[in-house]
Amino acid sequence: MRNVLIVGAGPTGLTLAVELARRGLDFRIVEKSAAHPAGVRGKGLQPRTLEVFDDLGVVEEVLASGSTYPPIRSWADGEVVWEGRMSEIRQASAAVPYPNLIMQPQWRTERILRERLAQFGHEVELGTELVGFEQDEEGVTATLGGGERERFGYLVGADGGKSFVRGHLGVGFAGETFDSERMLVADVRAKGMDGEHWHVWGDITKKVLNYSLCPIPGTDVFQFTAPGATEFPEIVEEVLWQSEYRVNIRMAERFRVGRVFLAGDAAHVHSPAGGQGLNTGVQDAYNLGWKLAVGDDALLDTYAFERMAVAEHVLGLSTRLLRTGDLKRDEETQQLNLAYLDSPLSRGPRGGERFGALFEEQRGPHFLLLANTSQGYGEAVRVHPPQEGQEGVILVRPDGYVGYHGEESGLSAYLSGFGIAAPAAASS
């Protein structure tokens, strides 16, 4: 029996696949579409997502092929009437190695993740649709198109806002679809526009957008967006891909039903404001992956506890940004301040915080223990000297958040209580 079936090969499903692959789990990732999707779609990668991609070994390619967001140039009557940025370009630091929002078309983000997955000997099974599943206490039996049936330990629905997995579970998707709030989104080529600016037509002072053209790095393509539009202005000379977007703001009523989990857009859909949706899905997968590898039931319960709270917060943020029309981006949208302070996994003064240090030492599927210790904790825990002024020991989870902060005498019980690791015998 394989460990996991991942349904959906967007950024969420691919992130989870890479995470499981590097841990040596046996899984399949299936995608009902016969071809990899086109379209820029989600294009903003937040600083916290870049930290995730650092750990997964893809951040260098993401940065090399992407770019920071260009300055905005606002037009009226053929004249430039305003120039500025969504946010100032920040310098990297030890605590924030990737401080800037990076523009990267979703198709390229997915390609980079697929290439990383291939390095572990796995690939997406295109044209493979999940058509049914049943679960019991021991596992999940999935039925794929053509009648193929296979048994898995767990199933993860990362199959988008119209998720078959969520529907088959009967999980509600509470929220609203605003049919009156539509946006035309397209990948286009445009006449005479430079690729160094994000060109906007409207009234910036009144936060009114007629349409915009955002250049996509490494291409001659612009992403065109126009609220309420059905036609393209004359400046657009070729349309490569287009879609009509309706504002959807919804969240699943449950993220876990037995051995089946929901992640990404299958669990929550956002307005595009603030660039939160894709990033939240990536971090769902990052939270879930190491817990699936451990396989402890109480630990797996913390996925829904932690990520439902985050999704609710981020939905509120993206909805507010949509309503205010604010283009400015700051710490609130970077997702660096998200934390799991109330989680059952969080112990001690710093429990649940993003650790925000020693990123090189964190890379890999292990826990990081900051302590002067003679106790052996096995291969799952990498030991590192404590930070200057540190009180007690700090155990950093594989996803970069502090799990335990306190006296070492309580650490073994913390680890074993969630089935996370079995400490080795103390060295003599």
Domain boundaries, the chain: 2-68+96-177+249-334, 178-247, 340-428
Q: Reduce the DSSP state of residue 134 to 3 states and report it.
A: strand
Report the length, in residues, of the chain.
Answer: 428
Structural contact between residues 262 and 255, judged by C-beta atoms closer than 8 angstroms = yes
For 2-68+96-177+249-334, CATH number out of 3.30.70.520, 3.50.50.60, 3.40.1190.20, 3.40.50.1980 equals: 3.50.50.60
pLDDT at 228: 81
pLDDT at 37: 87
**3-class state of residue 282 by DSSP:** helix
Structure tokens at 253: 């009523």
CA-nearest of 184, 135, 162, 160 to 278 is 160
Judged by DSSP in three states, 159 sits in: coil
Distance CA 376, CA 361 (A): 18
In 3D space, the residue among 303, 423, 311 whose CA is nearest the CA of residue 373 turns out to be 423
The DSSP output letter for 263 is: -
pLDDT of residue 322: 63
Q: Which fold has domain 178-247?
A: Alpha-Beta Plaits (3.30.70)
Question: How far apart are alpha carbons 127 and 117 in whole angstroms?
Answer: 18
For residue 427, the model assigns a pLDDT of 46
Give the β-pairing of 102-103 and 67-68. Answer: antiparallel
Residue 179: predicted pLDDT: 63
Point out which residues pair with 347 in neighbouring strands: 404
CB atoms within 10 A of CB 217: 18
| pTM of the entire predicted model | 0.94
Per-residue pLDDT of the chain (428 residues; tens, 9 = 90+): 899 999 999 999 999 999 999 999 999 999 999 999 888 888 999 999 999 999 999 999 999 999 999 999 999 888 999 999 888 899 999 999 999 999 999 999 999 999 999 999 999 999 999 999 999 999 999 999 989 999 999 999 999 999 999 999 999 998 877 666 688 999 999 998 999 999 999 887 777 889 999 999 999 999 999 988 788 999 999 999 998 877 788 899 999 999 999 999 999 987 665 557 799 999 999 999 999 999 999 999 999 999 999 988 887 776 666 655 555 556 777 788 899 999 999 999 999 999 999 999 999 999 999 999 988 888 889 999 999 999 999 999 999 999 999 999 999 999 988 877 656 654 44
By three-state DSSP, how is residue 338 classified?
coil
* 162 CA to centre of own chain: 18
- Residue 220 CB-half CA count within 13 A: 8
pLDDT at 324: 59
8 Å CB contact between 423 and 408: no
The number of angstroms, rounded, from the C-alpha of 206 to the middle of its chain's C-alpha atoms is 32
Read off the pLDDT of residues 256-274 as tens digits, 9 standing for 90 and up: 999 999 999 999 987 665 5
Alpha carbon of 356 to those of 28, 377, 403: distances in Å? Answer: 32, 23, 13
Alpha helices in 135-245 (DSSP H): 164-169
Q: Tell me which of 3.30.360.10, 3.40.30.120, 1.20.1250.20, 3.40.50.11440 is the CATH number of domain 340-428.
A: 3.40.30.120
- Sign for the pseudo-dihedral over CA of 415, 358, 59, 12: positive
